[in-house]
Structure 1
Amino acid sequence: MRAPIRLSGLAGLTMLAACTLPESDRTTISTIRFGDTSRPIGVARSNADLAEDFLDITFGLENGETLDGLLRYEGPVRVYMGPNSLAGYRRDLDALLARLRREAGIDIRETDDADAAEIVIEAVPTDQIARFFPDAACFIVPGVENWNGFLRQRDSQRTRWSEQETLTHAVIFLPQDSLPQDVRDCLNEEITQALGPANDLYRLPDSIWNDDNFHGAATSFDMLILRTLYQPEFSSGMSRDEAQAQVVPVLNRINPKGRNLPREPRAPESVAWSSAIETALSRRAGRAERMRGAISASQIAIEMDPTDHRLGVSLLTLGRLNLRQNPVAAAQYFSDAYMSFARQLGLEDVRTAQAGVHLAAMAIATEQYDIAADLADRHVPAAIEAQNAILVAGLLSMKADALSGMGEEEAARETRVDSLRWARYGFGDDSGDLAREQALLAALAAPDME
């Protein structure tokens, strides 16, 4: 289950409101796409640590339940995606399924026959999804045929993951009227989780199965977990003890990168932190309640042993919540989040890039244009690697403003055009009018700051 993109993630982009492009430049904008989506196979992390992650992901559920037996498909998996409103995402689906075949070794392909599909993808209006899961952009339901079938079931009748003995059929419900970035992220998370790894863990630094939603595309870690799950040593119904006896030997065979690496100390999952950060991010909570949640999350994260990326997530959230009322405090939180991410995850991580775009916005506001341009150049590659078109657009827009502030107007214009190309890919391409992308970018701060 994935939460919607929180537009305030690029809050500083309100400075784009004054930017306009000459009419002649509008014809230079064309649809842009990410390049080769394949990732390296394997993860350079201790196989003993990866084994623990595998067990927690495959035997746990987001609601806290645990599974008695392992779940996976025991034969080829065919995927049907309905026509009409999802037709524009067929290339994204094809790319993901190709990765699952190549990187996870799963026999999975698209079919044009819904009745022959193990996984069906159906578009549903966002407000309908919100009726059942107010903070979710999309979700999976096992054992139903379509949305109407889901609606006909009462709560007590709905098939649950914990009631399955093996995976046979599931439907993924995607928002038909949401941002393209949201839909693409949903495709990645929901299809990979529909294959068996149903749990989300906040402690995971490099996984799409993390409710902090910084990763929108399946990572090498995710593909390794799936490759492990679909090895012949595993089968539906295996107990956790049975799976535990097999998982390290399997990982030693298929993930030589982690074969001789020692275990690393890491903080466990924290129910208290999860509850606090979810309150801080909830659109249903008032600002005061959200602030209390963010402060509590930061305090809990500071006390984790060792401290990890959850501290940066907490600080970044505090910065976003303070941006309008106390920009000076927000700037400090953004800086602290950036340093925390950089220290824990490195400058190449997408979370560091997310904090970096906020710092770039603050640098422009204080006319430190060289710093803003350097931050953009440093983090655009990570945003592209993460396939986050909105983040790419935000970083490039910061660079364009920085170049303009330094008097380099021609370079600023070219960079702004690149930014709007990516904005169109992330926000949609319905109107063909660049003003629409500019207006969306300029409104990024509004939804989450009230």
Structure 2
Amino acid sequence: MFKSVPLHNPLSVACTTSGRRALRLGVAAVAMGLLVGCGAPELRTTQRGTARAPSVLLDLPPMKLFSSLRPATITRSNTSIARDFMALSFQLENGTELSQFTRFDGPITLRVTGTAIPASLGPDLELLIARLRSEAGIDITRVAPNEDANITIETLPHAELRQRIPNAACIVAPNISSWDAYRHAGRADLSWTNVTKREKLSIFIPNDEAPQEIRDCLHEELAQALGPLNDLYSLTDSVYNDDNIHSILTEFDMLILQATYNPALRNGMSRAEVAQRLPAILSQMNPAGNRVSTAPYSPTPRAWINDVEAAMGAQPSSDARRAAATRAVNFALSQNWNDSRTGFSLFLLGRLSVGVDRDLARAALSDAYAIYAARSDTAYHGAHVALQLSAIALLDSDFNEALRLTNTAIPVARTAGNATLLASLMLTKAEALTALGRASEARLVRLDSLGWARYGFGSDEQVHARSSEIASLARH
């Protein structure tokens, strides 16, 4: 097990990324982490000048889209699900308690407005709406842009959104139906604590991000528009977690939303009233959960959350972010957590340490991988770490290890619908195959990755840039 890490002041390495929400800055590119965050600037400068995209990338194939999604399944007891439902539904992310339960009543309408609406938004939204109807039993329908609707999804340039809301790329706000209304609303008008019944709200999404980033915004913000407003770091199977591992609604999320709209619950209920009715609701909806034992639970202290948020933050000092990750690791170890919180702390520290201390990064990531691999509900977390470890393996010229790690993680990324992670793993695998003299296999894997890369990274320039960065790892 990873030992407590001494605080130190290593060489500075710039790490800047963009995220969907303020708390997620620095982990928005969590699938790439090492490759496009810490380490990439240093790795691009090589003696042989080989950090360039393979020639096969000159002509990119069409973008690939996920026609169906198979998210993580529920493996926990109804007792633990009820506990999480209450924590998610009666508290905001900043810790503010909510006095009453709220949701929409009756059929829900949704419209999409804005300029330059991305072509990928329509198919991704229709797939999500279909899942909400069939899996969560929510009566939600998309209507024309000029019709009144309960939920308005408005697209706008990222720069305009961030000018008004720094460090955020997409948000959900109550009581309004347009960006113009948001800009002119008072703080009290936008406060969730003043909402007694959900009738009208807006989701603001950038129209100039990669298709996967836009899809992930749809999933996360629509989930909170319809249901709980909080996030919990203890969750391993949900988008209601600011670790940004899961980016599409899981079976757990659909169960939470289904429970939210159960007829036994209604607007204005107190915490005690909801808690009294929830066990029967979950027992009816998820009978298998009655036969699962409840794992021990320990609350997540604010001190650890603050350090994790600082490690993922947008501050320019990579030293400060790395120090925060170190504190998070030490705190998790002091609590004897052997769960996803410790794994995520180690993951952050490893990802932020590659450019300054590869041995520390390798040790932290290896321990994170071991924690995730030991549990069936964190296989997807392990796939994220596998990408980081496979990139280090390329740096170490351990191409067989890079191949082993990517072969294990690729099917998991595909099942989870994460094109960014999938393309990155496939490009890493292609570099390992090339180095091992298996050029024809490498070419096929690389070609297959590019359609996913276009969905995950967006522009052709971004696809070329990411491929170049991965290539530089094997050719340094």
TM-score, structure 1 normalization: 0.91
Task: State which of 69, 76, 92 in structure 2 corresponds to 1:61.
Answer: 92
- Residues 150 and 158 in structure 1, CA contact (< 8 A), matched pair in contact too: no
Q: 1:78 to 1:212 in 2, by over 3 A?
A: same
- Residues 104 and 197 in structure 2, CA contact (< 8 A), matched pair in contact too: yes
Provide the C-alpha distance between the structure 1 equivalents of 2:63 and 2:98, rounded to a whole number of angstroms.
44
Query: What secondary structure does 1:18 align onto?
Result: coil
Task: State which of 387, 402, 405 in structure 2 corresponds to 1:372.
Answer: 402
Please show how residues 303-382 of structure 1 align to structure 2 within 5 Å. Answer: 303-345=334-376, 349-382=379-412
Provide the C-alpha distance between the structure 2 equivalents of 1:38 and 1:316, rounded to a whole number of angstroms.
25
Size of the aligned set, in residue pairs, is: 437
Task: State which of 22, 28, 39 in structure 2 corresponds to 1:6.
Answer: 28
Percent identical across equivalent pairs? 34
What is the CA-CA distance between 1:83 and the residue it aligns to? 5.3
- Residues 8 and 444 in structure 1, CA contact (< 8 A), matched pair in contact too: no
What is the CA-CA distance between 1:267 and the residue it aligns to? 2.3
Q: Which residue is equivalent to 2:124? A: 92
What is the CA-CA distance between 1:345 and the residue it aligns to? 4.7
Q: Which residue is equivalent to 1:275? A: 306
Provide the C-alpha distance between the structure 1 equivalents of 2:434 and 2:354, rounded to a whole number of angstroms.
24
Range with bigger deviation, 87-96 or 297-306: 297-306
Task: State which of 184, 195, 199 in structure 2 corresponds to 1:152.
Answer: 184
What is the CA-CA distance between 1:314 and the residue it aligns to? 1.1
What is the CA-CA distance between 1:324 and the residue it aligns to? 1.2
TM-score, structure 2 normalization: 0.86
Question: Does 1:177 pair with 2:211?
Answer: no
- Residues 130 and 136 in structure 1, CA contact (< 8 A), matched pair in contact too: yes
RMSD: 2.3
Pick the structure with more helix per residue: 1
What is the CA-CA distance between 1:443 and the residue it aligns to? 5.2
What is the CA-CA distance between 1:334 and the residue it aligns to? 1.7
- Residues 72 and 166 in structure 1, CA contact (< 8 A), matched pair in contact too: yes
Q: 1:444 to 1:244 in 2, by over 3 A?
A: farther
Please show how residues 99-138 of structure 1 align to structure 2 within 5 Å. Answer: 99-138=131-170
What is the CA-CA distance between 1:344 and the residue it aligns to? 4.0
Provide the C-alpha distance between the structure 2 equivalents of 1:223 and 1:272, rounded to a whole number of angstroms.
30
Range with bigger deviation, 88-97 or 14-23: 14-23
What is the CA-CA distance between 1:144 and the residue it aligns to? 1.2
- Residues 420 and 456 in structure 2, CA contact (< 8 A), matched pair in contact too: yes
- Residues 129 and 137 in structure 1, CA contact (< 8 A), matched pair in contact too: yes
Query: What secondary structure does 2:141 align onto?
Result: strand
Provide the C-alpha distance between the structure 1 equivalents of 2:471 and 2:55, rounded to a whole number of angstroms.
22
Unaligned runs of 5+ in 2: 1-19, 44-49
Unaligned runs of 5+ in 1: none
Provide the C-alpha distance between the structure 1 equivalents of 2:169 and 2:396, rounded to a whole number of angstroms.
36
Query: What secondary structure does 1:98 align onto?
Result: helix
What is the CA-CA distance between 1:188 and the residue it aligns to? 0.2
Task: State which of 48, 51, 62 in structure 2 corresponds to 1:17.
Answer: 51
What is the CA-CA distance between 1:200 and the residue it aligns to? 0.7
Q: 1:222 to 1:426 in 2, by over 3 A?
A: same
Provide the C-alpha distance between the structure 2 equivalents of 1:321 and 1:43, rounded to a whole number of angstroms.
31
Q: 1:202 to 1:114 in 2, by over 3 A?
A: farther
Q: Match for 1:19: what amino acid? A: A
What is the CA-CA distance between 1:129 and the residue it aligns to? 2.8
Q: 1:443 to 1:120 in 2, by over 3 A?
A: farther
Provide the C-alpha distance between the structure 1 equivalents of 2:458 and 2:157, rounded to a whole number of angstroms.
16
What is the CA-CA distance between 1:445 and the residue it aligns to? 12
- Residues 71 and 416 in structure 2, CA contact (< 8 A), matched pair in contact too: no
What is the CA-CA distance between 1:113 and the residue it aligns to? 4.1
What is the CA-CA distance between 1:411 and the residue it aligns to? 0.7
Question: Does 1:207 pair with 2:232?
Answer: no
Q: Which residue is equivalent to 1:301? A: 332
Q: 1:321 to 1:97 in 2, by over 3 A?
A: same
Query: What secondary structure does 1:272 align onto?
Result: helix
What is the CA-CA distance between 1:71 and the residue it aligns to? 0.8
Q: 1:424 to 1:353 in 2, by over 3 A?
A: same
Q: Match for 1:198: what amino acid? A: L
